[in-house]
Amino acid sequence: MNGGWEINVSGNTTHYRKKLYDAYGNHVGTIGICKPTKQTGKKKKAALYSFKQVSSQVLAAKTSGKAAQVSTSIRMKIGLLRKQLKNGDYDEEEILRAILHAEMVQRACDKKKKNLKTEERAERGIESEEEMPLEPEETIDEEASEEEIKELEQEEFEALMEKLEMAAEDMMEMAEETAELDEDLDEMAEALSGSMTPEDLEQLKVKHRSDEARDILKADLKYLKALFDRLQSEKENARKASFAGGFDSGVSLSLGGLDMPVTTTSSQSMPVETGGSFDATV
């Protein structure tokens, strides 16, 4: 109760109601007013996060060492965002959106770090092969070679073939378990063996950069979609509040059980804080 007014908040509308009495104390009617409720809640702070900056840092990394630094930086950002989430002063939905993006980009960064390490090994192998002097070809004694082949017993040859077949089967099983791991191992083995040519290396770099850019783009699009959905939701809520406010505001007067229109003048003000005043002549 406030100055004889009954106050009731329902959704986004505040209702004020007061009984009217005549000079003899008899109840003669009721007057009411309803107005949109003023929002007095504390506004949440914006998240200290720039998705463009985080994504750009990963894309700009040119060495495995730089990619490792970027990954560490993103990990620190995620830790800061989690502290902001616990603080309670920041927009929770915005913080969660930023954490999801940062985690996706960090995984892409770790993948780029691994890819760059493979490329760097291949580059070292190519450089060492180019610097290595050519050795003279050895002359082969064809007669001696034929004698050595004849001396090889059939049992030993069959045992050797069996071992090779078992090794091939094991490799096929590993490839079936995870194609992606097998592909990574092949790339790394080729880089370490030094058999990769400069052309092969360039093709590998193009493939790696394409995969990494796709992962970053996926994270960015997911972040932007969540941001767009949030803005659309806020816009729709504002529209509904404006629509409801136009119909929820008004003054009503009931005398002797009959609802009557209210004429506003400047003679008598409603003694309650409603963001305005009204006068009713009875």
Q: Which residues partner with 35 through β-bridges?
A: 14
Residue 142: per-residue pLDDT: 47
- H-helix segments, the chain: 51-60, 64-87, 92-131, 142-151, 154-177, 179-193, 198-248
Say what the pLDDT of residue 238 is: 76
d(CA 189, CA 126): 13
Q: Among 30, 22, 23, 26, which residue's Cα sits nearest to residue 5?
A: 30
pLDDT the model gives residue 126? 79
Query: Does residue 183 sit in helix, strand or coil?
Result: helix
3-state DSSP assignment of residue 6? strand
Q: b vs e for 235-265, b when ≥16 Cβ sit within 10 Å of the residue's Cβ? A: eeeeeebeeeeeebeebebbeeeeeeebeee
Grouped pLDDT means (10 residues each) for the chain, 282 residues:
74 77 79 70 80 96 96 96 89 93 96 94 79 51 52 57 59 55 57 72 92 95 93 82 57 63 46 41 40
Where do the structural domains in the chain lie, given as residue ranges? 1-40+249-282, 51-128+166-236
